[in-house]
Amino acid sequence: MIELAPGWLIEVEDSTNNHWVGSCGDLMIAFAYQGSHNDLRHVQAIARCIDRLGKNSKHGVRILFVLPPLHAKPPDEKVRRALVDELRRCAAQISIAAIVVEGTGFGAAIHRGVLTGILGVVRPKFRLVVEGSVRAGLSSLLDSKSAVFRPLLRYCEDRLTGPI
**Angle made by CA atoms 94, 79, 38, in degrees to the nearest 5:** 135
What pLDDT is stored for residue 123 in this prediction?
76
Predicted confidence at residue 105, as pLDDT, reads 77
pTM: 0.90
Judged by DSSP in three states, 18 sits in: coil
The CA–CA distances, whole Å, from 99 to 2, 52, 55, 63 equal 24, 20, 23, 8
CA distance 77 to 43: 13
Q: Compute the distance between CA of residue 85 and CA of residue 9 in angstroms, rounded to an integer.
A: 29
Predicted pLDDT at 72: 67
Looking at residue 110, its pLDDT comes to 75
Per-position pLDDT tens, the chain of length 164 = 899 999 999 999 999 999 999 999 999 999 999 888 899 999 999 999 999 999 988 899 999 999 876 666 778 899 989 988 998 899 999 999 999 988 777 777 777 777 777 777 767 788 888 888 899 999 999 999 999 999 999 999 999 878 77
DSSP string, 85-132: HHHHHHGGGEEEEEEEE-S-SHHHHHHHHHHHHHHHHH--SSEEEEES
The per-residue pLDDT for 70 is 66
